[in-house]
Every structure is written in structure tokens, then in C-alpha cells.
Amino acid sequence: MQPVKILFVCHGNICRSPMAEFIMKDLVRRKGLESRFEIASAATSTEEIGEPVYGPAARCLMANGIPFEHRAARQIRKGDGVYWDFIIGMDSANMRNIRHMLGSDADGKIHKMMEFAGSDADVADPWYTGDFDTTFDDLMAACRGLLSYLGVR
């Protein structure tokens, strides 16, 4: 059985998308399903390429008991549209950029994060809002919803 491959995408790949990546990895790990998933994150921009998880985002993950490892921000690539099963953007601007960068979504792989929490809302960017707790809560709800969507209880 091939793993379900999920790529979370935000603007810089230092706040929202790595938070989603590590939340999802933790949820999957707690269910003993690591072998059934491949989970990563990427950026639409080049602004933060090579940078680690942003300090306040890392502190929010730690405060909520979510383990994470060092990683370097990377930009989404054309081949990601073929490789990943789910490409999940955090907000409307990310969605536009993902579609522009990857082209057609004939396979229906591109999704907006909060759709898995039953909403069309954007995941607010804590780089600007400073509210990492609300972002964390939104990401946790959407990750749980995504697992449910995938039939994981």
C-alpha cells in the first residue's frame, strides 16, 4: 500500500505550513500510522528558502506538545503537482500561487486547509497577526478533519 502523500503550503514555509506538517505528523504518529503517510511542507515564495521554523511558531508547537525537527524552508516545484496526493494551501493567495506554479489541477489535488474543518476561511498568517495560538487551533482542527476525510478515526 502506497503512503498518502500530503504537502502543506504557505507563503514562506516557516510558520503555517511547517506547523501543519508537524501537527499532522504528530496526529499520525499517535495513531501508529507513520508508514501510511508522507508529510512535508513548502513555500510559494523564495523569501525564506533555507530558513528553519520561525521561533515563535516553534515555541507554539513546543507549548502544545508537538515534536518537530530541524528543517529548511523550500519552494514548491513543478514536480510536486505529480508527486503529492494532496497539496494544501493556507489562504486564498497561496491557492492562487499554487495553481499558477503547478498549472492544471485535473486530479483535484489542490485544497484549501480550512475546507477540512468545514470552512472556506483562510488560516491567518501569524507572521503578521502575532497570534500563533489561533493559527495552531485552526491547523489542529483542519488536520483532524483531513484525517477524518481520509477515513482515519
Q: Considering 10, 15, 60, 143, which one is annotated as catalytic?
A: 10
> Is 91 among the catalytic positions?
no
Q: Is 107 left (phi over 0), alpha (psi -120 to 50) or beta?
A: alpha
Neighbours of 91 (CB within 10 A): 20
Residues whose CB is less than 8 angstroms from the CB of residue 109 and which lie 6 or more positions away in sequence, other chains included:
81, 84, 85, 86, 87
> Is 120 among the catalytic positions?
no
Q: How many residues does the chain have?
A: 153
Grid cell for residue 110? 489542490
Q: Considering 91, 122, 125, 138, which one is annotated as catalytic?
A: 125
Q: Is 116 left (phi over 0), alpha (psi -120 to 50) or beta?
A: alpha
Nearest C-alpha neighbor of 6 from the set 74, 89, 126, 71: 89
> Is 80 among the catalytic positions?
no
Q: Considering 15, 16, 26, 80, which one is annotated as catalytic?
A: 16
Catalytic residue annotation: 10, 16, 125
